[in-house]
Amino acid sequence: MSTFSAPIAEQIWDMKYRFKDAAGQPIDETVEDSWRRVARALAAVEKKPDLWEAKFYNALEGFKFLPAGRILAGAGTERSVTLFNCFVMGTVPDSIDGIFDMLKEAALTMQQGGGIGYDFSTIRPKGAEVKGVAADASGPLSFMDVWDAMCRTIMSAGSRRGAMMATMRCDHPDIEKFITAKQDSARLRMFNLSVLVTDPFMDAVKANGSWDLEWNSRVYKTVQARTLWDQIMQATYDFAEPGVIFIDRINNKNNLNYCENIAATNPCGEQPLPPYGACLLGSINLAVLVSDAFEAKAAL
């Protein structure tokens, strides 16, 4: 009898998480071998590794607990890959050197298997003056296209393409272009997009007031807050993007708000992180931990 509940589950394990040699031949003969590999690798740093290997294996056995995918794919393989799934990169500088330094960091992180979130609000808007070169800025969307091409090029570890989240503040002058960017079906396909919504913006929406789009203290355009909100909602309804992140709520509720500022999330949006933050998301399978499910005597 197969350990897997469905053929597709076994196929995903074989494609994404099964340890194979350079020729593609399996080293993990069974999923139990994968669990043993992970348990042994994670227990190696403990004072009593044999004890903790048994505990870790028991948690994994029968799919009671699923660790983050990079752990399942990379632990115990001795390969140069990250065991963290998701990152938020450092603040993107508003300079050509700084932008491409961040691009390199992102490429190396994705090569190791990590997904990344970025806040592109720090890049000057399209048409802004670039002093010293007698040119106008191309804007954050143009650099997001470069990131998107890089992500398509790099195959992340374990046959996993890179995943990215891009955020932009609701008062950035290019926010309207950001909202509609993925309505072009060929553009920014490697990104999820989310608008950073602030409390003052929501107050303006409720009051049907005006809203300044500004960067570096210069107002580039003034719009009706409710019109901008409706644009976001319509795009989300029609194209499933962008999402919204209530960023002031996140920072106000963050226990570490005295020492960090959050402006982005992991690629799927469930974990806000500060610059250079990382996260691992494991899954507890409650379905296999409940006895007599849906009965009066149901228990964990």
244 closest CA partner among 183, 198, 184: 198
The per-residue pLDDT for 65 is 96
Point out the catalytic residue in the list 61, 105, 268, 279. 268
Whole-number CA gyration radius for the chain = 23
The per-residue pLDDT for 158 is 45
- The torsion of the CA quartet 65, 69, 75, 79, rounded to 10 degrees, works out to 170
Question: Which residue segments constitute the domains of the chain, with CATH numbers given?
Answer: 7-81+282-288 (no CATH), 86-279 (3.20.70.20)
The per-residue pLDDT for 284 is 94
Point out the catalytic residue in the list 85, 266, 285, 295. 266
Tokens (6 digits) for 207: 């009051």
The per-residue pLDDT for 133 is 78
- Is 266 a residue of the active site? yes
- Is 86 a residue of the active site? no
Q: How far apart are the first and last CA of the chain?
A: 25
The per-residue pLDDT for 298 is 86
Residue 77: enclosing H or E segment and its boundaries?
A: none
The per-residue pLDDT for 132 is 75
The per-residue pLDDT for 71 is 94
Point out the catalytic residue in the list 170, 270, 285, 295. 270
The per-residue pLDDT for 1 is 58
The per-residue pLDDT for 214 is 97
The per-residue pLDDT for 155 is 63
DSSP for 29-60? -SHHHHHHHHHHHHHTTSSSHHHHHHHHHHHH
- Report the alpha-carbon distance of residue 24 to residue 38 in Å, rounded: 19
Tallying the residues shown for the chain, one arrives at 300
- Is 46 a residue of the active site? no
Which residues does the chain have with pLDDT short of 50?
A: 157-158
Contact 116, 164 (CB under 8 A): yes
